[in-house]
Structure 1
Amino acid sequence: MSERPAMARPRTQLLTSQKIHRAALELFDEQNNFSIPRLAQRLGVSPSSLYHHVSGGRTDIIKGIRALISQEAYSRGDFPPRGVRWQDQVRQWAINYRDALGRHPMAIPALVGEPVDDTDTLNIYENLVQILETAGFQDELLLQALSLIDVLALGSAVDAASPEPPWKASHSVHPALSRALTSGHTGRRQEDAFTFGLDATIDKLEQMLVSPSEEMFTSKRAL
């Protein structure tokens, strides 16, 4: 009997953690979520094979998805921006990060449910904090400024998944809301709202720097 020729080994690895994270992100985009069985089916492997690359299962995959989105943000040219006023740096940071998140809005609820500990995303926030520190924010003001910008970017990115218009109101039952939709709907609601919010946020940050003690006192008194 003649011996069978040995099968050549594949030149590239069939499964990698990067491929797993990318496939899971695609499932979020297409189906609003992912499961280990569906992910294994998408990749053409058994569920047990996935755990050789992502031992932490779903938690590790979500962290990998966050890193992919952060890498997308970094791919947008000069990010974080340098050599301009801190206000313009903050503006471009928020736009870039919001746009990257907004391409995958269905993944955001899962992302915010896990602490941020991947290097790519931590680098993004480290850059924002450095911008704010250089501008003069310190201590509690620094954390407030960071959180304010983060909430704006995340909230606007989640809104990217909303239908247009997001409210279905009848004039007879909800007349004020109906009038607002009729008179103000331009097809750019999401973009206009984000720009308006970003302008207001930067104005607020400038005020915090001018009179930080008064701003802090006013905020706490409001609570």
Structure 2
Amino acid sequence: MARPKTPRLNRAMIVDAALELVTSSKGLTMPGLADTLGVSVSSVYHHVRNRTELVELIRGRIAGREFVNVDRNGPWRTVLATWLREYRSAFSAYPELVRLLIGQTVSAPEVLAQYEYIAGVIIDAGFPREEALPVIMVFDSFALGSALDLSAPDVIWATDDTNHPNMTTAIAAAPTEVVARADAAFEYGLRCLLDGLALRLGETPSATSTSYS
């Protein structure tokens, strides 16, 4: 029998199915992935060496969308702010994937290219080279943590006026809707981060305290 002109399985199909599993309650396993695709596990391994490579393919797929809207010719603060917003947005739909990503070495070419560019932006802005990685790691933690915030429940803290008057007041002053509350916290944190970095460079924080769009 002649072989089909188009393969039954390819990497794009595997990544699509893996993303579906990540967002489901089943979790990402190679046998589960094969079952979802209706093929044998060996067929999956023909295209993807192991689960580590699969996670990197997923990382690369999502990160490929993330950097599209970043204006790479703007001021450093604008570049970093746009990157962080896109970073958070890209991964907010996949909270379970975030937990997978932080557990292994980054090797996806698309992602490494982004980090290389961002490191250059930080160094070119005037930060010492030894500070570039700490800045990137702080941004990573902030963006991924903020992405997870978008999947938080409506009520995060079970406070009451008697035992937690300060927290109750703070909660009452914040947006009640999950996305609005998370967005407000993200933008506040982003402003604080960039203002702090501006101070490190001897720049005026007030120049960065309004908008980074």
Q: After the TM superposition, which parts of structure 1 deviate over 4 Å for at least 4 consecutive aligned residues?
A: none
Which of 186, 189, 200 is matched with 1:197 structurally?
189
- Structure 1's 41 and 123: CA in aligned 2 closer, same or farther, altered over 3 A? same
Question: Could you list the per-position Cα deviations for residues 34-85 of structure 1 after superposition, in whole angstroms to 9, with x for gaps in the alignment?
Answer: 11222111111112221111122x21111111111111213x43x2x13321
1:24 is matched with 18
1:49 is matched with 43
Kept after mapping to 1: 8 A contact 2:30/2:41: yes
Q: CA RMSD in A?
A: 1.9
Q: How many residues align?
A: 201
**Structure 2 unmatched ranges of 5 or more:** 204-213
Aligned pairs for 1:1-223 within 5 A: 9-31=3-25, 33-56=27-50, 58-74=51-67, 76-77=68-69, 79=70, 81-187=71-177, 188-210=180-202
Aligned amino acid, residue 184 of structure 2:
D
Kept after mapping to 1: 8 A contact 2:154/2:176: no
Kept after mapping to 2: 8 A contact 1:105/1:161: yes
Structure 2 Cα separation of the partners of residues 174 and 62 of structure 1: 42
**Structure 1 unmatched ranges of 5 or more:** 1-5, 212-223
- Structure 1's 203 and 32: CA in aligned 2 closer, same or farther, altered over 3 A? farther
Q: What is the identity percentage for the equivalent residue pairs of Structure 1 and Structure 2?
A: 34
Deviates further, 93-102 or 145-154 = 145-154
